[in-house]
Amino acid sequence: ARFWVQVISELRNGTKLKKVEENLNKKRCKVKGRGAEFELTPYEILMNDIRERRYKLRKTAGPVRNTRKDARTVILDFIRSRPPLKK
């Protein structure tokens, strides 16, 4: 956390970041000069696909309400459904 705070404070003080060419079509990318490789995580790949609208997201159905009745209501409904008592 301490390193992150230092980075943020340097950015607030005006440190400029280098521009990086993004090649999101490739999963692996080589950094020139260093030969380092990095791979996008599945989450990053999915988010890039969604941002670039490669996939259309379907609307999902709303939450299904489980209308479970309490015991008292079930008993009263059963009593009401019976024929009336004879006098």
Per residue in 31-74, pLDDT tens?
455 555 667 788 888 888 878 877 776 787 877 777 778 899 88
Looking at residue 72, what is its pLDDT?
Answer: 92
Contact 45, 57 (CB under 8 A): no
pLDDT in the model for residue 27: 46
Q: What is the pLDDT of residue 37?
A: 63
- pLDDT for 6 equals 85
Domain membership flag for residue 31: yes
Distances (CA, A) of 82 to 52, 69, 73, 75: 62, 19, 15, 11
Residue 1 counted as domain residue: no
Identify the CA nearest to 28 among candidates 41, 18, 17: 41
Tell me the one-letter amino acid at 9.
S
Determine, yes or no, domain membership for 84.
no
Q: How many domains is the chain built from?
A: 1
Within a domain: 49: yes
Asked whether residue 13 is domain-assigned, the answer is no
Question: Which range marks the domain in which residue 29 is found?
Answer: 25-55
Residue 21 has pLDDT above 70, yes or no: no
What is the pLDDT at residue 75? 92
Average pLDDT over residues 15-25: 61
